[in-house]
Amino acid sequence: MTTEFENAEKEMSRLVEASLKKYGLKPNVLFARLSDITKAASSGLITWSRKNSVWPSLFGLACCAMELMDFGSARIDAERGSYLLFRATPRQSDVMIVAGWVTKSIIPEIKRMYEQMMKPRYVVAYGECATSGGPWFESYNIIRGIDQVLPVDVYVAGCPPKPENLFAALLKLQKKIGGNIEG
Amino acid sequence: MGQALQGDGLTTKINVGPIHPSTHGVLRLVVELDGDEIVNVEPHIGFLHRGVEKLMETRNYMQDLPYVEKLDYVAPEAYSEAYISAVESALGVEVKERAQYLRVVLLELQRIASHLLWLGTFLNDLGHFFTVFMWAFADRDKILRLLQEHAGARMFYVNMRLGGLNRDVPPGFEEEVLSVLGDIEKRIPMYESYLEKNEIFMERTKGIGAISSHRAIELGVTGPVLRASGVNFDIRSSKSYYVYDKLNFKPQVVSSGDVFARYKVRMLEMKESIRLVREAIRHMPPGDAVGMPIRLIIPAPKNKEVRVYRETPRGELLIYMVAGQQGPYRVSFRSPSFINLAALPEIAKGAHYADLFAILGSLDLVIPDVDR
């Protein structure tokens, strides 16, 4: 694997230098070489930046969405953590917080939303319903937990869990992205 | 407002939702547009359907309380109270006098919290009035803290029992309520002056989505939407329950019928609720407010039918129940959100597409209550 990387690195450097020569430019520090990128990846820079920009999507299904709104409002103010920023589109977000019960008719929409998210993507099951079906576990139209459809990273218990619990869950997710917890 | 771009009779269909930040839950709208003008709106519901009414038949009376609260999670207290009073009238249980006053206090606090949540999210829908969202949620949080002190939970309280409440209020509760109400009373004029002096807010609400009082009655809309059209109808005064008639309750009515009127009615209702809570605390008699223990349930008379009307923050709620031995034989809800959603195509017709979410927000829908 490493030799492949090194070969690619040499090849890329050669190409960069050739193209610079062609246009009569001098190699400059402003041009990042592939070796720099691979070094950064190995030193954990990418992991670090992923860890510190966990953007949840604005997506609520049911009651737990009220607490999700409270999470973003004045008392907790999620965005003061400076690494959380609620986005209204899945294309810009990293974390999907599933807040509410999951019905059979909404599964295709959730799957489509999940597929629109960029990799690496994470899922937090917020509340009883998203974890296990909650009080509706006997209902014919409910699936018993979002983990039957999507891979879940963090579960939050409670009906509904307090906003503080979500903060704790996202801190746990941050640790997980950093590789401190085995997934 | 400029003229809408008129097309050449060819219409475009736009799909909104089911996952959309402004639909307050999971609602799908298919909007038919001619230029920028809405020709038709078709709501598609049922994305959160879970069969509550059927599930409730399989539980006993007190086990059903959490299910009812999860119908309308913005005002769970109002729903659990409506359900428990349906059970009370089926089983023939009297409510203690102190409990009646305390229920009024809790219901009105819940109404203020619900309207504050509406205010925050509605202004967020209008554009980016995120300041008001922060302010309103800070105020709502104070009320939730009060309710938490009594019930022990932030959102789902389950504190209603047959004939009363699960416990009396903690000592010093009344003073705390009064101080919080004093805070909120000072904040309401602040919201009003911030919004009504804001030209963007006035442009986006005045004259948008207006319905006449005659049409409002025909469509059957309820609650603040009906009272914003100048119809003086409120279950709390016309079919008074508990001590509302003793507290000189007056329905709040605004006549213009547009989005601004719906905003204004809710602001006036908050002020009226603050007054009602103060009056109720002043006249509250000492004594016992604790209801029956959960296990102690008298078997109901066979096939007794009960209808209970309540004014929830969103409008008139009807609970129809056929009583069974241990639990309800059949429960049915006529929920205000469903009725108001049914009026959306009529109200939104002819409006600009950008105003659709102002109109949708002004109806204050809770989608799990529509889908059930």
**pLDDT classification of B2: cutoffs 50, 70, 90:** very low
Q: What's the rounded Cα separation, in Å, for the pair B159 and B291?
A: 10
> DSSP per residue over B19-71, as a string?
B-TTSSSB-EEEEEEETTEEEEEEEE--TT---HHHHHHTS-TGGGHHHHHTT
pLDDT of residue A80: 79
ipTM for the complex?
0.80
Tell me the shortest Cα–Cα distance from B228 to chain A, in angstroms: 26
CB atoms under 10 Å from CB of A68, counted, come to 26
Within a domain: B141: yes
Per-residue pLDDT of chain A (183 residues; tens, 9 = 90+): 567 667 777 777 777 777 777 766 666 555 555 666 666 666 666 777 778 888 888 888 888 888 888 888 888 888 877 778 888 888 888 899 988 889 998 899 889 889 988 888 899 999 888 898 888 888 888 998 888 898 998 999 888 898 888 888 888 888 888 776 544
Domain count, chain B: 1
Average pLDDT over residues B171-183: 91
Binding-site residues on chain B for chain A (CB distance < 8 A): 18-19, 21, 25-26, 46-51, 55, 58, 66-67, 70, 73-74, 117, 120-121, 133-135, 137-138, 141, 154-156, 368
Helix B259-283 and helix B173-196, axial crossing angle in degrees, nearest 10: 160
CB atoms under 10 Å from CB of A59, counted, come to 26
- Are the C-beta atoms of B173 and B149 separated by less than 8 Å? yes
Tell me the shortest Cα–Cα distance from A174 to chain B, in angstroms: 25
Within a domain: B353: yes
Q: Which residue has the tokens 């953590």?
A: A81
Q: Quote the domain boundaries for residue B312.
A: 52-371
Residue of B19, B120, B368 with shortest CB distance to A62? B368
Q: In this structure, which long-range contacts are made by residues B214-219, counting pairs with CB atoms below 8 Å and at least 24 apart in sequence?
A: B215/B346, B216/B257, B216/B343, B219/B342, B219/B343, B219/B346
- Are the C-beta atoms of B278 and B55 separated by less than 8 Å? no
Residues from chain A contacting residue B120 (CB–CB below 8 Å): 69, 73
Within a domain: B122: yes
**pLDDT classification of B1: cutoffs 50, 70, 90:** very low
Is residue A159 less than 8 Å (CB to CB) from chain B?
A: yes
Say how many Å lie between the first and final Cα of chain B, rounded.
39
pLDDT exceeds 50 at position B299:
yes
Of residues A15 and B29, more confidently modeled: B29
Average pLDDT over residues B152-180: 88
Domains of chain A (ranges, CATH numbers):
2-43 (no CATH), 64-177 (3.40.50.12280)
Within a domain: B46: no
Residue B67 has which token pair?
A: 């299910």
pLDDT of residue A25: 64
- Are the C-beta atoms of B187 and B305 separated by less than 8 Å? no
Q: What percent of chain B lies above the pLDDT cut of 90?
A: 25
pLDDT of residue B179: 92
Residue of B67, B121, B134 with shortest CB distance to A135? B67
Within a domain: B47: no
Of residues A31 and B121, more confidently modeled: B121
Q: What is the CATH number of the domain that holds B342?
A: 1.10.645.10
pLDDT of residue A183: 42
pLDDT exceeds 90 at position B112:
yes
